Structure 1
């Protein structure tokens, strides 16, 4: 960490402690974490057929259920996503906060199963899904809920004999990601979306024929301050923290989702939880 970054985070942290006192603390803990933002974004490409015009994809990420995010809140999120009537749903990792201590119940499975998308539901591992011996537990729950795991593999979505590819890699921090394997036998001229939990992986993705990378992990920083920005982000989410990013050396576009829940600290400040609603255009 260089001097400038250290000073920025030190000053920001002190400011946050003061700002979160009283009403600010109540807002950051009990108000903003419930203020869901729906970010609508058009994805257009000459690689896409007109058969996919207005095809919609909902991405949600980092629910961290069990750490100040309840099944009741998740139930409300499920209803919100279903109200958007997506053609495809993708989840980009970190279902519960601590798989080894979380009280698993059939209610979570049923809520996940309640999510509806005509062209399927897909997911990838996040670091919390692998952590705490959660790897097999989380997969079992997602399997029962009709979510399909994309672990270093891909699937093809079809409409009127036209296609686009959705690929996914294993978690970067605690898994074994292999993008080359994930794209094996995929047509490089076909529009391709990659699900990768950690956004900084995009610096490797630019070397492959991927058009869009969807990530989470960063939580957008969770706490952001005016003129300072985010105070902290985890490893592999330090370069690309939120929003849209493009690359000079590639046609890749990266979208970083701020996620739904919180971790480490139960606060969100100037960093509302969000889901992405993508609409395809030829």
Structure 2
């Protein structure tokens, strides 16, 4: 009986620690700087000023907008050329999640040109997965009201940096590629079907689901920017992320920079994201905004 009481007390203390630590971490933001050299260049022969991106994903209303001022301040201070958002701004099942998003987008609209791709929550909202008929339309209204923000659903925008083309793609995939248990696996031909042949230049792919990084690399993404896995939720030192929202234990990708096994120099940055939905837990996994300098 004593052992049972002891184990129960330990479990209760552990649960209390998790809740308190998660609450603390979810109210903080880590600013991370990384440098990437393009497919054709290396650190010794790159030329010109790098293009600077501010990258975020999995906003999920970020503590009901509590972090918006911090997000704005960090991005403004970094002075990026462009802002990239790889999906899950909203919670597709929650009408109230649109107001923090509205405030955030109006804030960053005045900082830099912004490109947004869908995540599974935007997809669910669009197809009324949760019988929610309004939130996606509200999101599109806000984006269309911002003259500096573009929503990319299997579309591309080309910009120039130091006379070199940068193609920014936003990938929108079917919900069956997000299923937690038995789902279809995205293949490279599916990416070609949605996006077509990659254009000449440096190709940045906003692709919410990191599980298919090698397919993105094979398609032609020089840099994939992803989220969705929330940094593995609980980050174990020297081990990495413990579990994904798809309930996969110790996944191959959790957060940070990855290089393709089969297409050298093609990379993915996987962010741990800014918010959580449903089960709001983050342990040793502080929300982040990533500032990426790319030598094109």
Shared fold per TM-score greater than 0.5: yes
Please give the alpha-carbon distance, in whole angstroms, between the structure 2 residues aligned to 1:41 and 1:253. Answer: 12
| CA pair 101-160 structure 1, distance change in 2 beyond 3 A | closer
Q: For 1:189-239, what per-residue CA distance to the aligned partner results, in whole angstroms no more than 9, with x for missing partners?
A: x11111100001213113222211110000012223346643321349843
Indicate the residue corresponding to 1:204 in structure 2: 215
Q: For 1:166-199, what per-residue CA distance to the aligned partner results, in whole angstroms no more than 9, with x for missing partners?
A: 11100453689853256546434x1111110000
Return the TM-score normalized by structure 2.
0.76
Q: For 1:13-71, what per-residue CA distance to the aligned partner results, in whole angstroms no more than 9, with x for missing partners?
A: x9x95664445531222x111221112111112547834x2321011110111xx7122
Among residues 251, 271, 274, which one is paired with 1:257 in the alignment?
271
Indicate the residue corresponding to 2:191 in structure 1: 179
For 2:221, what is the secondary structure of its paired residue?
coil
Indicate the residue corresponding to 1:242 in structure 2: 255
| CA pair 18-41 structure 1, distance change in 2 beyond 3 A | farther
For 2:213, what is the secondary structure of its paired residue?
helix
Note if 1:82 corresponds to 2:50: no
Please give the alpha-carbon distance, in whole angstroms, between the structure 1 residues aligned to 2:166 and 2:211. Answer: 24
Among residues 204, 211, 231, which one is paired with 1:220 in the alignment?
231
Among residues 47, 52, 71, which one is paired with 1:50 in the alignment?
47
Maintained 8 Å contact 1:131/1:174: no
Maintained 8 Å contact 1:152/1:179: no
For 1:207, what is the secondary structure of its paired residue?
helix
Maintained 8 Å contact 1:60/1:257: yes
For 1:241, what is the secondary structure of its paired residue?
coil
Return the TM-score normalized by structure 1.
0.80
Number of equivalenced pairs: 262
Counterparts in 2 of 1:99-114, with a 5 A limit?
99-102=93-96, 104-105=98-99, 108-114=101-107
Please give the alpha-carbon distance, in whole angstroms, between the structure 1 residues aligned to 2:281 and 2:12. Answer: 14
Aligned-pair Cα RMSD in Å = 3.0
